[in-house]
Amino acid sequence: MRAAVRLVAPVILAAIFAYSGWVKLAHPADFAAAVAAYRLLPPAGIGLVAVALPVFELLLAATLVVPQWRQEGAGIALALLFLFFTATAAAQARHLNVDCGCFGPDPWRPLRAVPPLIRDGALMAAAAIARLAPNLDRGARRR
Amino acid sequence: MTRPAPWRPSLRDGKVLLALAVGSLSIGWTLNRIRPDAVPIPYVPRKPVVVSGDLTLAEFSALTHDATALVLDARPGIFYELGHVPGALSLPEEDFAAAFPRFRDRLESARVVAVYCADPDCEDARQLQSHLTARGVANVAVYPDGWQGWSGAHRPAEKSAR
């Protein structure tokens, strides 16, 4: 059971980051507008985040499914999700009309149904499991 | 060689992060240079789809995907619960005075407010537009074909409580 959880957590994270990165990449203007709505970054920062973050998420998904990079990928995913959580909480505290922009303009319904902070919290838990669980592939790496 | 405790950041974490950052900036920048719908860097907000007059279906649809726009459903709450435009919030014209304070912050931060009701004969959207304009909300536009036009065009619908 524990082994299943350790294996499933990074795979779920990878699938979600791959989906998230892909829909952002497909709708760059919508994603840039969503980033701008947070009112946290200057115009140059908004452009760079809108251009780089979708690709970053796709590459991060790849690291989560490669055994040799899984633990590092999980740590980076945890940090990134914490960043998303903080930005969303800050926007809500300022009563901003923010569409989180996490999964593009027309998110898959089950993802849209979960409030962003709860979703980020659950994904952070999955990332922590993937990071802290003993590395099942350690033996393979040493060889 | 002993691997560091998994909860502590390691040099290897830094190297992977650096590789991801450099890779994503390079690939993202290159893709952005060649795609027709490139994001301007520095970012320049898109001009509002419309700031006055009535919205066509295409304009209204674009606003439902625009994070800086606010879409309001002026129909009575029961109709909203049965089905509404994805992302729309329920602000029935009949409840306006009581409900407006809850919407004030969102209305102030929205670049465009799009309002709809049931169909072209319905007056609720126009009245809500008047109420909002009287309260100082700028850029309020009506989608006159309302829910009938939206659902008749087979656009996606959402069901949720108010």
- Give CA–CA dist B75/A26, Å, rounded: 33
Termini Cα distance of chain A:
26
pLDDT given for residue A2 in this prediction: 67
Amino acid letter, residue B23: G
Lowest pLDDT segment from A4-13, A51-60, A98-107, B32-41: A98-107
Angle at A94 between CA A89 and CA A95, to 5 degrees: 95
| d(C-alpha B75, C-alpha B94), whole Å | 9
Mutate to test the interface with B, among A6, A38, A40, A72 (most CBs of B within 10 A): A72
Please identify among residues 59-118 of chain B the ones whose CB lies closer than 8 Å to any CB of chain A.
64-68, 70, 86-87, 105-106, 109-110
Instruction: State whether residue B135 sits within 8 Å of chain A by CB.
Output: no
- Residue B48 · residue B111 · CB < 8 Å: yes
A63 interaction partners in chain B (CB closer than 8 Å): 16, 20
Average of pLDDT values for A99-109?
70
| The token pair that represents B153 in the structure block | 């065009």
pLDDT-derived band at A105 (thresholds 50, 70, 90) equals: low
pLDDT in tens, A121-138: 999 999 999 898 755 445
Residue B3 at interface with chain A, using a CB cutoff of 8 Å: yes
Question: Where are the strands (E) in A65-116, listed by range?
Answer: none
Q: What is the structure's pLDDT at A97?
A: 64
Confidence of residue A143 (pLDDT cuts 50, 70, 90): very low
Q: Are the beta carbons of B16 and A69 separated by less than 8 Å?
A: yes
pLDDT of residue A140: 45
For residue A62, list chain B residues with Cβ-Cβ distance below 8 A. Answer: none
Of A95, A105, A138, the CB nearest to B105: A95
**Structure token pair of residue B157:** 């619908």
Identify the sign of the CA torsion B17, B19, B22, B25: negative
Please, what's the b/e burial string for A87-125 (b: 16 or more CB within 10 A of its CB; e: otherwise)? Answer: bbeebeeeebbbbbbbbbbebeeeebeeebeebbeebbe
Q: Would you state the pLDDT for residue A95?
A: 75
Cα distances (Å, whole numbers) of residue B125 to B63, B96, B117, B142: 16, 11, 5, 6
Q: Which chain B positions have a beta carbon within 8 Å of A73's beta carbon?
A: 16
- Evaluate if pTM is beyond 0.90: no
Q: Report which of A140, A129, A137 is spatially closest to residue A6, judged by C-alpha positions.
A: A129
Min distance A142 CA to chain B CA atoms (Å): 9
Per-residue pLDDT for chain B (162 aa), expressed as one digit of tens each? 456 677 788 899 999 999 999 999 999 999 999 988 889 898 887 655 555 679 998 889 888 877 778 999 999 999 999 999 988 999 998 889 888 888 887 887 788 899 999 999 999 999 999 999 888 888 899 999 999 999 998 888 888 777
Cα nearest neighbour of B12 on chain A: A72
pLDDT at A8 over 70: yes
* CA quadruple A137, A143, B2, B4: dihedral sign: negative
The arithmetic mean of pLDDT across residues A99-126, rounded, is: 78
Considering only the beta carbons, identify the residue of B16, B66, B109 that sits closest to A73: B16
Say what the pLDDT of residue B5 is: 76
Provide the pLDDT for residue B55: 92
Question: B3, B7, B39: which to substitute to probe chain A, counting the most A Cβ within 10 Å?
Answer: B39
> In the prediction, which pLDDT does A108 show?
66
Nearest to A50 by CA among A34, A69, A37, A62: A34
| Residue A126: per-residue pLDDT | 92
Q: Do B6 and A135 touch (CB under 8 A)?
A: yes
Contact between chains at A59 and B110 (C-beta distance less than 8 A): no
Residue A110 pLDDT: 67
Q: What is the Cα–Cα distance from A28 to B65, expressed in whole angstroms?
A: 12
Residues A106-118 have a mean pLDDT of 73
Contact between B25 and A48 using a beta-carbon 8 Å cutoff: yes
Phi, psi of A73, deg, nearest 5:
-60, -40
Residue in B7, B15, B20 to test binding to A, most A beta-carbons within 10 Å:
B20
